Amino acid sequence: MSVSSDRAEPDQPGRAETSVETPEGAPPPAPPPGDAGAAGRRAILKRRVGQIAMHVLLVIGALVTLVPFLWIVIASTHPTSGIFSRPPNLLPGDFLVQNLVNLQAMTGFARVVFNSVLIAGTFTIIGVVVCSMAGYGLAKHRFRGRGVMLGTVLLTIMVPYHVLTVPLFQLMSEIGWINTYQAAILPFVANAFGIFLMRQSFLSFPDELIEAARVDGAGELRIFYRIVLPAVRPSLAALVIWLFIFQWNNFLWPLLVLTTREMYTIPVALSSLIGLSRIDYGAIMTGTAIAVIPVMIVFLFFQRQFISGLLGGSVRG
């Protein structure tokens, strides 16, 4: 009943529909040859139909998902008056450059994008280290106070953020951090969701392998860094993506602690364009469309990890 590990090499392309990847763009694996015949062909046909149905569903879903976003992109090429025309303008206009110029003039958008990248980038780097370490400690080590620690992690996300802002803001001004990058980065960097995500991911890692490494005399940090961490690469990628968009979209806290225009992040700068009687929606749409680009770069880069994270392979290596 046991399955020996050499029965299916982890790196070898298998045929299970649910789990195995082929390089992007390559055709799916061919059905097993040799068992031709009516039944085999029917099975192939059935699979084909299923495959086409899957694609149709995915494309419909993708269209539904894309429409609102495409609309933002189109709106970014119109002046405010063109955005609200009825019926809506469905074709791109020629106002993109002017919107960009306005956005830069009103918010200093280049600097704002820089701030966002710096803050979200630093936040993500520190966050990945802190969260994966804490998640590992909580999942794979037993120590006094572990329960308290897990409870604290959960407590910090259970208390609604809005009421925490007042005392947290007090704390920031006591230590003189108002209008500094670290005030925007550090308080939320031990991100509870991130820690929890990593804990859940490490839970699936076999204890025997850690024990074996200890017997071999490996240090705890080395075990973590060299053996355990590589095995959860897909989760690390998810963590990076989570941390980055959390901070990228974070609004209320940066609004409170970043008080001058040169320090604003993108959501804060876009929000500052909303007054009472005049709002430049063209500039807001353009800012939104631009704001997506860096996140998509991060996403595209890290989602590739979802192809190569088979558990067995990395342990062996």
Partner 1 sequence: MHRTPIRWLVLLASLALLVAACAEDDVADDEEVAADTPADELEGELEVWGWNVAAGSLDDLSEEFEEEYPGVEVDVRDIGRLDVYDRLTVGLEAGEGLPDVVQLETDRLATFINAHPDGFVDLAEYGAAELEDDFDPAMWGEVEGPGGEVYAMPWDSGPAGVFYRTDYFEEAGVDADAIETWDDFAEAGEQIRDEVGVDMLSVDMPGDDAEFRMLTQQQGSFYFDEDGDIAVTSDEAVRTMETLQDMADRDIVSNDADWDGLVSATSGGDIATVPFGVWWTGTLEEEVPDQSGDWGVFELPAFEEGGNRASNLGGSNLAVVADTDYPEAAYRFAEFTMADPENQAFGLDEWGLFPGYLPSFDEPVFSEPREYFGDEPIYETFAETVEDIPPVNYTEDFAETQEIMIDAQSDILLEGADPAERLEEAAELISNQTGRQIAE
Partner 2 sequence: MTLASSARAVAGRVVGRSGEDPKGSSPPAGRPRRRLRGRAGWFFVAPAAILFLTFFLYPIVATFVMSLQTREMGQMVFVGLDNYERLLTDPVFHTALFNTLLVLFVQVPIMLVLALLLAVLLNSALVKARGGFRVIYFLPAVTSLVAYAIVFRILLHTDAGLINQFLGTLGLAEPDWLNRTWSSRVALMASITWRWTGFNMVIMLAGLQAISNDLYEAAKVDGAGPVDRFLRITIPMMRPILLFAAVLSTIGTLQLFDEPFILTGGGPSNATLTLVYYLYQQGFQSLNFGYASAIAWFIVLLVAVLAFIQFKTIGREDPT
Judged by beta carbon, residue 18 or residue 260, the one nearer partner 1 is 260
> Is 120 in contact with 247 (CB distance < 8 Å)?
yes
Is 106 a binder of partner 2 (CB under 8 A)?
A: no
- Contact between 214 and 141 under an 8 Å Cβ cutoff? The reply is no
Query: Among positive and negative, which fits the CA dihedral 181, 186, 192, 197?
Result: positive
Size of the site for partner 2 (CB under 8 A): 137
User: What's the DSSP call for residue 224?
Assistant: I
Nearer to partner 2, 22 or 81 (CB): 22
241 contacts 302 by C-beta, under 8 angstroms: yes
Minimum CB separation from partner 2 for residue 115, in Å? Answer: 15
Binders of partner 2 among residues 195 to 254 (CB under 8 A) are 195-197, 200-201, 203-208, 211, 214, 220-221, 224, 231-232, 234-235, 237-238, 241-242, 245, 248-249, 251
Footprint of partner 1 (CB under 8 A)? 80-81, 83-86, 145-148, 151, 165-167, 169-170, 173-174, 178, 252, 255-256, 259-261, 268, 271-279, 281
> Among residues 22, 81, 173, 259, which is the contact residue for partner 2, using CB under 8 A?
22
Q: Shortest approach of partner 1 to residue 250 CB, angstroms?
A: 14
CB atoms within 10 A of CB 279: 12
- C-alpha–C-alpha distance, residues 81 and 98, integer Å: 13
Shortest CB 245 distance to partner 1, Å:
21
Q: Contact letters (x/-) for partner 2, 109-148, by CB under 8 A?
A: --------------------xxx-xx-xxxx-xxxxxxxx
By CB under 8 A, what part of segment 28-57 binds partner 2?
28-29, 47, 51, 54-55
Distance, C-alpha 149 to centroid of its chain = 25
Q: Which residues contact 177 (CB under 8 A, 6 or more apart)?
A: 183, 257
Of the candidate residues 81, 173, 259, 303, the single one contacting partner 2 (CB under 8 A):
303
Least spacing, CB of residue 88 vs partner 1, in Å: 9
Looking only at residues 168 through 197 of this chain, which bind partner 2 when binding is defined by CB under 8 A?
A: 168, 170-171, 186-190, 193, 195-197
CB of 131 to partner 2, least distance (A): 7
Amino acid in position 71: W
Question: Tokens for 130?
Answer: 């802190």
d(CA 124, CA 311): 24
Long-range contacts of 155-158 (CB under 8 A, 24+ apart): 156/192, 157/192, 157/193
Q: Which does 80 bind (CB under 5 to 8 A by kind): partner 2, partner 1, none?
A: partner 1
276 binds, among partner 1, partner 2, none (CB under 5 to 8 A by kind): partner 1
Distance CA 75, CA 82 (A): 8
Residues pairing with 274 in the sheet: 279
